[in-house]
Structure 1
Amino acid sequence: MGTLTTAPKTHHEPANSAEWHIAQEVCASVLASLRRRDQRHKGRLYVHGLLTAQGRKTMRNLATSTQEPAAAQSLHHFISVSTWDWSQVRTSLARQMERVMTPHAWVVQPMVTPKTGVHSVGVQRRFIRHLGQAVTSQHSHGLWLAGQNSAAPVNWQLSVDEDRPSGMARGAVPEVSSGSRTYDDTAISVVLQAASWGLAPRPVVIDARDLPSAPLIEAFTAADLPFLLRVGSHTPLLAPELSGGQRRVLSASAEHLTMLARSQQRPVEWVDPAVPRVLRTGMVALLPVLWPGISVPRRPRPDRVSPVESMRSGGADLLLMGEWQPNRRRVAELWVTNMTRASRGTLLRLSKLTRRADTDFTRICLDVGAQDFEGRSYEGWQRHMTMVSLAHAVRVLRRESQDRGEAEQSG
């Protein structure tokens, strides 16, 4: 898990008839929100190119795969100059994928795209924790619908800080707050945008070790969304139940609190999303905690509540989940959640969906051009990533169709 960066691309043969049939269906349904016929046609060409072009998905490579004269110019115009609304296309895609995938969570994943120059939109030099060095790169977040078997991105937001590229209109970048859109803002906005699309609320799962967690907690609480945030070992928390009757609530790091609660460890089995059919075991402990400086409101417990609300409500403001690997003393992962009624198994399995998104990013999303956009406009990046999401959805649906066919044959 962790920040998504460049990885070796897997090789795919040109789309077979089954994949092309699925692509036609997905494009016909999702691109119906585009009012102009020529835009719908270019959208299908672009997705076809992402699925079939070999190597980097440059305009020239995409155009070559279409076998249409002047395709490079028309596709460039479709992505970088046209005025179609990517949010409508993403809304349609998200609703369709929600129906066919029945996701368990909204996983928010960072994407770091290394760049050799500084002229592309959103390029900055940032320190990347897991690489241990500063990298000149674009920084963005994607929202993925994630289940046990598949994950698909349906929304993207690019970090564009105060050093806005020349020629980019201020109105071109939707604002989250009074300031410019920063890397911290993108993780919040990518969720709140999707929440406005009429999707069924799902737990928001984020590895937040590189983000300030307090704004995430406040934003998702205000939006009435369940969340599960991975935090760092030194994250300060308050533990009322470990105060030993003292007036002052115990304040300590997340790692220290889980060590005090090790007696509550219980084994939980989970199927690794990254390695199909591999069953693993984690030792899990849960501890009620408070986040310093944030008051997370309690809600009355109605007699009848939805499955999501039943996970959110409870007597404690938040829960701290610690996971240990068997026979290891130091805690491996630390998560904070407002789903205070959820079981150890539910929370642990939700946390593992970041591995599902990581896996499908590497195996599918990179191959259909997630890090190949070379333009300089914010709008162009957003439209390219929208088409990448469509191509990724086609690959996911093809894989699920193939898995169903194999299951029927073996049955």
Structure 2
Amino acid sequence: MSTITYLRESRAAERQDEISAYCDELFTIFARSDQRRWGEVYLRGLLSTPGRKTPGAISEQVLGRRTPQPIQQFVNQSTWSARTLRQRLTEQMCAVAPPRAWALDEVVFPKNGNRSVGVARQFAPTQGRVMNCQLALATSLVHAEGSLPVNWRLLMPRSWDGDEELRDAAHVPAHEQSRPRWRYALDSLDEMLGGWDVPVAPVLADWRFEPDARQLLAGLEDRDLHYLVEVGPQTMLPVRPAALRAAPPAGASPVASVADGLGRHLDRAVLNWRHHHGARSSRSQFLVAQLGRCAAVHPRQPARPRHLVLEWPFGHARPRRYWVTDLSAQRLSETIALAELRHHSAHGCDRLHQDYGLGDFEGRSFPGWHHHVTLVSAARGFHALQQLQSDQGGNRWTGRKSTTTSSSAQEAPAASSPGA
């Protein structure tokens, strides 16, 4: 055996041990050994299967034979908690490095047919068109060099609310109804705030295509979360009469009108900053104005000011981008850097589609969808944890090895399946 071949095989064996150790720690939340076994099979398949990562392709890649049924049962029918696994994954990430931000992103799942849970012909804002698709909201942990979606919400179309045949076939819980996007966002954040061991960080959100930002901003302020929310020129904002020369009677106005009404009250700053899509730097003009003050969350705490930030390129008739934030106006360069960091979360969601089989789920049920997207996040988490530790100058993640888990991932049980 040549030295190169030996090194390659040695590294491959080391990687298998790393995956087994990662799964051993992550899947301790599963009550049954067969669930832990099939969880590792599925995760290995998401990491290594070329092309579409279907149960048949995964079993053939990982086990050496095509046995899709146990994998389908594990994903679609087994009763393990996706929420508990998400919490476990989040806490593993945060134990290595605290996030710089939490981010909210729309994720689109194009679909054929209309039987899969949540599928409808609906407008996908990030795609700018009507599509036959599922829409989801991902909440990601964002670091300096990447991100990981750790919490998921499937946005239920209104057409599913009263269709009992569709809902029964897809096992949709009764409480899962169509809601405004801001409610899904706050529900996801509440879950993470309600007992997850995760450091609180500023919330980044892309709200450019939403007609109103008032409910989201009020919800974030009620939870004492700092935020940087990108909005569109027609997004409605809350404004205080003192903030504008001519405030609208309702106390709300489209962003573009707010920017025009602020006039001379805009403070200007010129910053050199680096675009998220390349190494080159560019010189941009940013304008900041106070919109008013947030409601005080606690009686003894002063209310935080709420600011409108505009990127207004030199020579342009209109601003290019708009944000609303409660972060300090005196640290504008840090705020703009945080705005650029949001692109990591959007790119992270795209990578789940491209590299980890996010859109390859063939089941139709509500529980199955949540199981699949959570396991995809876990597969991406394996690489994300390695990257974080590498950035810190440490060794690759090794964790606690389990020879039982490692060997069982290579062998399908003869008569065992991850049932209820």
TM-score (norm 1): 0.80
C-alpha contact (below 8 Å) 2:57/2:66 kept by paired residues:
no
- 1:228 deviation in Å? 1.8
- 1:374 deviation in Å? 1.9
C-alpha contact (below 8 Å) 1:93/1:390 kept by paired residues:
yes
2:286 aligns with one of 278, 281, 284:
284
Identity of aligned residues (%): 25
Q: Which amino acid aligns with 2:334?
A: T
CA distance in 2 between counterparts of 1:166 and 1:246 reads 46
- 1:28 deviation in Å? 1.7
- 1:377 deviation in Å? 0.4
C-alpha contact (below 8 Å) 1:121/1:376 kept by paired residues:
yes
2:45 aligns with one of 42, 49, 68:
49
Distance 1:339 1:19, change over 3 A: farther
What does residue range 241-320 of structure 1 map to in structure 2 within 5 Å?
A: 241-243=242-244, 252-259=253-260, 260-261=263-264, 264-275=267-278, 277-290=279-292, 296-297=295-296, 299=298, 314-316=303-305, 318-320=306-308
Per-residue CA deviation, residues 304-362 of structure 1 (Å, 9 max, x unaligned), is xxxxxxxxx6553x211112345544211111123356621222122222211122233
Distance 1:336 1:243, change over 3 A: closer
Per-residue CA deviation, residues 359-400 of structure 1 (Å, 9 max, x unaligned), is 223345531011111211000000001100011111223444
Residue in structure 2 matched with residue 155 of structure 1 by the alignment: 151
What does residue range 295-374 of structure 1 map to in structure 2 within 5 Å?
A: 296-297=295-296, 299=298, 314-316=303-305, 318-340=306-328, 343-374=331-362
Q: SS of the residue aligned with 2:309?
A: strand
Q: SS of the residue aligned with 1:287?
A: strand
Residue in structure 2 matched with residue 230 of structure 1 by the alignment: 230
Residue in structure 2 matched with residue 306 of structure 1 by the alignment: none
What does residue range 39-78 of structure 1 map to in structure 2 within 5 Å?
A: 39-67=35-63, 71-78=67-74
CA distance in 2 between counterparts of 1:255 and 1:31 reads 49
Residue in structure 1 matched with residue 115 of structure 2 by the alignment: 119
Deviating beyond 6 angstroms after TM superposition, the runs of 4 or more aligned structure 1 residues are 245-251
Q: SS of the residue aligned with 2:360?
A: coil
Q: Which amino acid aligns with 2:231?
A: V
C-alpha contact (below 8 Å) 2:75/2:371 kept by paired residues:
yes
**Does 1 or 2 have the higher relative contact order (CA < 8 Å, sep 6+)?**
2
What does residue range 123-138 of structure 1 map to in structure 2 within 5 Å?
A: 123-138=119-134
- 1:132 deviation in Å? 3.9
Distance 1:166 1:53, change over 3 A: same
Q: Which amino acid aligns with 2:23?
A: C
Residue in structure 1 matched with residue 137 of structure 2 by the alignment: 141
- 1:193 deviation in Å? 1.5
Distance 1:26 1:213, change over 3 A: farther
**Larger mean Cα displacement after TM superposition, 87-96 or 69-78:** 69-78
CA distance in 1 between counterparts of 2:29 and 2:275 reads 37
1:23 aligns with one of 19, 23, 28:
19
Q: Which amino acid aligns with 2:259?
A: T
Matched pairs, number: 375
Q: Which amino acid aligns with 2:216?
A: L
Distance 1:286 1:52, change over 3 A: same
CA distance in 2 between counterparts of 1:378 and 1:245 reads 49
**Larger mean Cα displacement after TM superposition, 40-49 or 212-221:** 212-221
Distance 1:61 1:148, change over 3 A: same
**Larger mean Cα displacement after TM superposition, 248-257 or 128-137:** 248-257
1:103 aligns with one of 99, 102, 105:
99
C-alpha contact (below 8 Å) 1:240/1:288 kept by paired residues:
no
Q: Which amino acid aligns with 2:258?
A: L
Residue in structure 2 matched with residue 190 of structure 1 by the alignment: 188
Distance 1:33 1:188, change over 3 A: same
C-alpha contact (below 8 Å) 2:171/2:367 kept by paired residues:
no
* Long gaps (5+) in structure 1: 1-14, 303-312, 407-411
Residue in structure 1 matched with residue 407 of structure 2 by the alignment: none
